[in-house]
Amino acid sequence: MTVIVDARGLSCPQPVILAQNAIASGDYPIEVMVDTVTSRENVRRMAEKQGCKVEIIQQGDEFKLVLAK
């Protein structure tokens, strides 16, 4: 079952912390929703450092990052 993290409207470092918590749960895939380029890049970097594969899907002005092991 997909874990969904809605971090839209939150400023850093909150999206990164929420994504880290989801990764720590060990349930994949994880979809992280963000609405800024800064949040997208910070979450992407953190997830890759944790060993995740990251797919970024742009949806209008927002981004969905799909994290997988």
Locate 31 and state its tokens: 């979809």
The per-residue pLDDT for 38 is 97
Question: For the chain, how many structural domains are there in total?
Answer: 1
CATH number at residue 42: 3.30.110.40
pLDDT band at 66 (very low <50, low <70, confident <90, very high): very high
d(CA 40, CA 56): 8
The per-residue pLDDT for 52 is 98
d(CA 62, CA 1): 23
Radius of gyration from C-alpha coordinates of the chain = 10
pLDDT tens across 17-55, in order?
999 999 999 999 999 999 999 999 999 999 999 999 999
User: Which domain range does residue 9 map to?
Assistant: 3-68
